[in-house]
Structure 1
Amino acid sequence: MSMIGEYFRMTEAELERAIGDPDWALSHVEETADADEESELSPAEARHFSTHQTWHLLDFLLRRSEFPVNVVHGEEPLGEADDWGYGPPRYLPPDRVRLGARALSRLTYDQLLDGIDPQELVAAEIYPLGWDDRASLEWGRDWFADLQKYLTAAAEAGHAVIIWLD
């Protein structure tokens, strides 16, 4: 079984309901995510998004760059939500989504990789293991670009984003 980084965009009204009723939130996320997958929407169009197994690599690279928003794990607990996979979900309110999207838009993947030695990822036990050489770091490039598109669209819509590991 793998650990997958998951995201879901919500309006402020939906977020308020989700905080008060995390069981509703999980049902809503599951229904909408299934519909998104069937429609094969782009990251900018979808309400549900995943960074798949790159979440830990992206987290490592963003933390290393002193990124101002935790766009990999979220920042606020989602009410009294139970475990949605590997822990309870967290969220970014719309203002933090906007800040995160703005900061991501000014950052390139090459900047994140600048000066990185793959052995740093090995030493930090970044999931999934297998950081043998610099070429292995390229795996995260497309997921980073899609995360930029997803958060930009969420920010433009004034959405909050729920984040969890599944």
Structure 2
Amino acid sequence: MSMIGEYARVTPAELARAIGDPEWALKLVVGWMEAEAGQPVEPARARCLDVDKAWDALGFLLRRAALPVDVVHGEQSVPDAEDWGYGPPRYLTPEQVHTAAGALAEISAADLTEGVGPEDLAEAAVYPTLVWERGASLDYVADYYELLRAFFRAAAAEGDAVLMWLG
């Protein structure tokens, strides 16, 4: 089984309820994921996003770019949350989402991956290491990065918070 980076946009009211009742939040998010599964959803309308196995490479590259907000692992833990796959969910507040979206808007996919090759990801033991050891292209990561940028841009425009976890 692989670890997949997962995201869900939530309103400030939904975030407040999720913090107090993470079980409710999981049911809410699973419902959204099921509703959006297999259907093309515009990034501006999507409540959920998965970045497949690109999450760790995105984290590596965004740390290298000195992004001011951790958009891969979040900044805060959801208190008392159970495991949502490979650990409990974390989140970003609407203010942190706004900061992240602004910073992501300034970094193109080409800028993000400039000067980095699969050998760098393999050396840093970025998940899934075997893919990078085989010399896989960073285009895969760049494509998910563009989806992540659009997702955060839409979340910031709506004043949403974001939950994230590894599923």
Structure 1 distance, partners of 2:97, 2:162, is 7
Alignment partner, residue 138 of structure 2: 137
CA distance in 2, matches of 1:18, 1:79: 9
The aligned residue for residue 94 of structure 2 is 94
Render the CA deviation track for 1:81-139: whole Å, top value 9, x for unaligned: 01101111000000000000010011011111222243221111111122244x61111
**What are the residue-to-residue correspondences of 1:1-166 with 2, within 5 Å?**
1-129=1-129, 130-131=131-132, 132-133=134-135, 136-166=137-167
TM-score, L = length of structure 2 = 0.94
Deviation above 4 Å: which 4+ runs of structure 1? none
**Retained in 1: the 8 A contact 2:5–2:165?**
yes
Q: Over aligned residue pairs, what C-alpha RMSD do you find?
A: 1.2
SS in 1 for 2:30: helix
Range with bigger deviation, 66-75 or 120-129: 120-129
Where does structure 2 lack aligned partners over 5 or more consecutive residues? none
CA spacing shift, 1:117–1:35, aligned 2, 3 Å = closer
Return the letter of the residue paired with 2:94.
P
Please say if residues 117 and 138 of structure 2, whose CA atoms lie closer than 8 Å, have aligned partners that are also in contact. Answer: no
Q: Distance in 2 between matches of 1:121 and 1:38?
A: 31
Residue 43 (structure 1) shift: 2.1
Q: Partners in 1 of 2:142 and 2:112 — Cα distance? A: 10
SS of the counterpart of 2:63? helix
Checking the alignment, whether the CA contact within 8 Å between 2:8 and 2:29 is kept in structure 1 is: yes
Q: Mind listing any 5+ residue stretches in structure 1 that lack a counterpart?
A: none
Q: Distance in 2 between matches of 1:140 and 1:38?
A: 21
| Higher alpha-carbon deviation: 39-48 or 86-95 | 39-48
1:19 is displaced (CA, Å) by 0.3
Once residues 117 and 67 of structure 1 are traced to their aligned partners in structure 2, the CA distance between those partners, rounded to angstroms, is 20
Deviation at 1:39, TM superposition (A): 3.8
Q: Percent identity?
A: 47
Mark the CA change 1:139 to 1:39 in structure 2 (over 3 Å): closer, same or farther: closer
What TM-score does the superposition give when structure 1 sets the normalisation length?
Answer: 0.95
